[in-house]
Amino acid sequence: MILSRRVSLNSVYLDELDDRIVISGIEIGDGRENIASVDTAAGFGQRVTSSKRVSLDVVVKFRLLQRSRKEAWMRERSRLLEMVNAWAAPGGNLRVNYKSGRRLNVILAQAPGEGSLWDYTKEFQLVFRAYTIPYWEDNTASSVQTGGGSSSGSKAVEITGSAPTQCNVELANTSGAKIDECTVTIGDSKMTFENLGLAGNETLVIDHSNGLLRLRIRNAGGTHRSVMNKRTTGSANDFRLDPGTYTGSFSAKRACQMTISWRNRYL
């Protein structure tokens, strides 16, 4: 039954699985933070040495409108609950209707058990947990792009929201000849590559899978190969940026076109 509270997982709405599934509540929890500190030499207070968010929970509560104590109807309530759990089990991109344009990448942390199916007033709950990216983020990525006719270029990168995010970069070789050395910089973070072997019409791809950095080259046929070992010592570990305005730039031996993209994130 479609009411005011709605939730979807991978673009499939829970309340559209069956009219007898009624969402009774959606509760977004506090983010769980890991903060490490040490005593200061002054004899009072402490100094924070590291701080990071590690997870965020969303609880979805629902009821099953199958209100009979007949045994056949109890089997139907069991089938409905199995349907809900099958919807939730894969995890993925969770969206709620009152956070327009945002998503949260989650796993199913706790599936509801049947309990007493004879209790037709019972409220069930699903617990979803975001681990790899414990922030709400924009559904649609923001991006900027340079021209493709120069061996260097720059663009302004404006990170909004209220939480740090990660930038992806595509550096397309538009020169038609091989490029072995290039540097990509965003703000104070710089990655330099040597012996890259970036052929004409190939693209250096700096992106992320579930928050983990990938460094690859994509050829004209769409096939990727890793170039993690081509990044030089002293290069940045990632392009991780707090909200603010930065300059993104590249330099190479030949003409390239750079695209920087990111999803703004929110506490």
pLDDT per residue rounded down to tens, the chain (267 residues): 788 899 999 999 999 999 999 999 999 999 888 887 887 877 788 877 777 889 999 999 999 986 666 667 778 888 999 999 999 999 999 999 999 999 999 999 999 998 887 777 889 999 999 999 999 999 999 999 999 889 999 999 999 999 999 999 999 999 989 999 999 999 999 999 999 999 999 999 999 998 899 999 999 999 999 999 999 999 999 999 999 999 999 999 999 999 999 999 999
CA distances from 75 to 79, 153, 256 (A): 6, 64, 62
What's 41's domain CATH number? 2.40.30.200
Q: In angstroms, how far is the first alpha carbon of the chain from the final one?
A: 30
Within a domain: 159? yes
Can you tell me the distance from the alpha carbon of 235 to that of 134, in angstroms, rounded to the nearest whole number?
26
Within a domain: 76? yes
Can you tell me the distance from the alpha carbon of 125 to that of 8, in angstroms, rounded to the nearest whole number?
15
Do 12 and 126 fall within a single domain?
A: yes
Read off the tokens for 234.
């002293």
The predicted structure's pLDDT at residue 61: 97
> Which of 77, 101, 135 lies at the terminal end of a domain, its last residue?
135
Within a domain: 226? yes
Can you tell me the distance from the alpha carbon of 138 to that of 188, in angstroms, rounded to the nearest whole number?
24
Within a domain: 215? yes
> Which of 107, 135, 163 lies at the terminal end of a domain, its last residue?
135
Do 152 and 125 fall within a single domain?
A: no
Query: Tokens 């305005």, residue?
Result: 245
Domain count, the chain: 2
Do 179 and 125 fall within a single domain?
A: no
Can you tell me the distance from the alpha carbon of 65 to that of 71, in angstroms, rounded to the nearest whole number?
15
CA proximity to 163, closest of 137, 186, 140: 137
The predicted structure's pLDDT at residue 164: 95
Do 121 and 169 fall within a single domain?
A: no
Read off the tokens for 113.
């058990």
Within 10 Å of residue 83's Cβ, how many Cβ atoms?
16
CA proximity to 52, closest of 79, 71, 34, 29: 34
What's 230's domain CATH number? 2.60.120.860
User: Domain residues for 81?
Assistant: 7-135
Q: Residues near 227 by Cβ (< 8 Å), separated by ≥ 6? A: 193, 196, 197, 204, 215, 216, 217
Within a domain: 178? yes
Within a domain: 2? no
> Which of 117, 135, 153 lies at the terminal end of a domain, its last residue?
135
Do 186 and 213 fall within a single domain?
A: yes
